[in-house]
Structure 1
Amino acid sequence: MKIAVIDDDQIFQFLTCKLIEKIAPGYELLSFKNGQDALEFIQTNLSLLQTLPELILLDINMPILDGWQFLDHLIALNSAHYQPIIYMVSSSIDQADLLKSRTYVQVKGYLTKPLSKQQITELLNP
């Protein structure tokens, strides 16, 4: 399984990737510092589905292209073949963001930072 961590917080990226590596050592990890970089990767590789992440941990507040904008652009790609599982990640519980996340069928949940070993285990073994 390929997992993308899209977050401008390099410490969160590093710790989350290390935790995933410990829990599921065979998984391939992709890291992006903003939604634009991740979207460009997906657009470039859309015809090569095996290169794309199946699970995305998506930060809401990022520079250049935030999590909501990333979702809107991903939906606009209109790819019936690429439907990743997405979890929104935020450093705070914002009721408006929680409600907004429920309006996207692609979003399977809303998580607060930092992610725990238990949370990641549950994501990888639903």
Structure 2
Amino acid sequence: MTVPFKTCLLIDDNYIDNFVTRRVLESNKFAEQIIVRQSPMEAIELLKDGTVDPDVIFLDIRMPVMNGFEFLHEFDGLDIAKKGIRIYMLSSSLDPTDIRESADNKYITQFIHKPLTNKALEEICL
């Protein structure tokens, strides 16, 4: 079986959510490399300096200091933003504003409700 993606970046401030999401990604052989960051600002720095070159990003919305939408604003200013990275907003938010803002954002491929499931990953890989 071929692995669909080379590098996946998971950005979420919640350790438990990261643990669960990482396990789902690993058990489905979603990517060769899964990089997890709890700080969106740290993730921006990794993207900016080229340390990480992801094919896919899973991004939470509600995080302290910098939320998912603020991350996307910073991401927009990076050269890597032109590469066509698939970004999935992975959130427990039920706020219609968050869902609408995700749908309207040019970088968001899809809004996915937590927890990440095998079925959601199957749909991504189609």
TM-score above 0.5: yes
Report percent identity of matched pairs.
28
Q: Which runs of 5+ in 1 are unaligned?
A: none
Does residue 38 of structure 1 match 2:39?
no
**CA distance in 1: counterparts of 2:30 and 2:83, whole angstroms:** 24
Match of residue 27, structure 1, among 22, 29, 32: 32
The normalised TM-score by structure 1 is 0.87
* C-alpha distance in 1 between matches for 2:63 and 2:27: 26
Paired residue secondary structure (2:104): coil
Gaps of 5+ in 2: 1-5
Match of 2:85 in 1: 84
**Letter paired with 2:8:** I
Query: What residue is the counterpart of 1:54 in the other structure?
Result: 55
1:80 deviation in Å?
6.1
SS at match of 2:111: strand
Aligned residue pairs total 121
Residue type of the alignment partner of 2:11? I
Where 1:102 maps in the other structure, the secondary structure is helix
Closer, same or farther: CA 26–91 of 1 in aligned 2, 3 Å: closer
Q: 2:15 aligns with which of 7, 10, 16?
A: 10
Q: Cα gap change, 1:94/1:122 in structure 2, threshold over 3 Å: closer, same or farther?
A: same
Answer whether contact 2:62 2:68 (CA < 8 A) is retained.
yes
Shift of 1:122: 2.1
